[in-house]
Amino acid sequence: MVAVSEITRRPTRSGAAIALSAAGLATLALAFTTATAAVGGLVGTLVIAAGLTRGSRRTLDAAGGVFFLALLFAGLGGVGTEALLLAAVASILAWDVAENALSVGEHLGRETDTTRLEIVHAATTLVVLTVGAGVVYAIWAVASGGQPIAAVVLLLVGAIALVAAVRR
């Protein structure tokens, strides 16, 4: 019998590379808002890197939380809406691709060529997020004429209700 080549059940390299690039992009975008947010983005990127090295889903979730807080701080700073939306898109993409790399690694291992799978996944997420950011930005640009905040909140609640009503 020959030596059995065991598969390495760790996050795939291609997925990790995409995720870390996206996290870096998010940090760069956050740097255009406030200093606190930029530091938060940096910490988030490091935590994502740690999660990918250890192959831990919990660490990745923690990284997502750090990015969320950084985005909130950036938002409260009140500068750079475009940069904020870019950072949001990049950080959601980073978490999504990182988690996907983890699950692909568990199913197929590092040795299998999964580049196509992961690029398709990252591309669909990116398209959806870009469209979403575009829609939100357009609403913001139109509605920034001083509508009461209650109207915006009601709009948001309505949208959430609509989304919740969508059945699989």
Partner 1 sequence: MTLGFDTARWTGLEGLVLVAAAVGVFTREPAPLLLAGLGVVFLGYIRIAAVPDVNLAVERELSDTTPDADDDVEVTLTVTNEGTRTLFDLRVVDGVPPALAVSGDPARLGTALRPGATATTTYTVTAIRGEHTWGETVVVARDPSGAVERRETIHTETTMRCEPELAATADLPLRGLTSKYAGRVETDVSGAGLEFASIREYRHGDPIRRIDWNRRARTGELATVQFREERAATVVLVVDTRSDAHVAPESDAETAVERSVDAASIAFSALLDSGDRVGVAGFGPNECWLEPSSGADHRARARRLFATHPAFAPTPPKEAFFPAIAVKRLRRRLSSDAQVIFCSPLTDDYAVSVARRLEAYGHAVTVVSPDPTVTRTIGARLARLERDLRLRELRRSGIRVVDWRAEPLAVALARAESGWSQ
Nearest C-alpha neighbor of 13 from the set 118, 95, 96: 118
Sole binder of partner 1 in the list 25, 26, 96, 98 (CB under 8 A): 96
Quick check: helix, strand or coil at residue 111? coil
Alpha helical stretches, state H, 8-112: 13-30, 35-54, 57-77, 81-108
Residue written as tokens 């750079």?
A: 80
Residue 114 touches partner 1, criterion: CB under 8 A: yes
Sole binder of partner 1 in the list 5, 58, 142, 145 (CB under 8 A): 5
Structure tokens given for 103: 């699950």
In the bound complex, what is the minimum distance in angstroms from residue 90's beta carbon to partner 1? 12
Q: How many residues does the chain have?
A: 168
Sole binder of partner 1 in the list 85, 94, 98, 101 (CB under 8 A): 85
x/- mask, partner 1, residues 47-76, rule CB under 8 A, reads --------------x------x--xx-xxx
- Region from 24-32, 41-49, 96-104 binding partner 1, contact rule CB under 8 A: 96-104
CB 74 within 8 A of CB 87: yes
- Region from 22-30, 41-49, 85-93 binding partner 1, contact rule CB under 8 A: 85-93
Whole-angstrom Cα distance, residue 133 to residue 124? 14
Residue 32 touches partner 1, criterion: CB under 8 A: no
Nearest C-alpha neighbor of 44 from the set 84, 95, 93: 95
Whole-angstrom Cα distance, residue 22 to residue 89? 9
Q: Where on the chain is the footprint of partner 1 (CB under 8 A)?
A: 1-5, 7, 61, 68, 71-72, 74-76, 78, 81, 84-85, 88-89, 92, 96, 99-100, 103-104, 107-109, 111-114, 116-117, 120-121, 124-125, 128-129, 131-133, 135-137, 139-140, 144, 149, 152-153, 156-157, 159-160, 162-164, 166-168
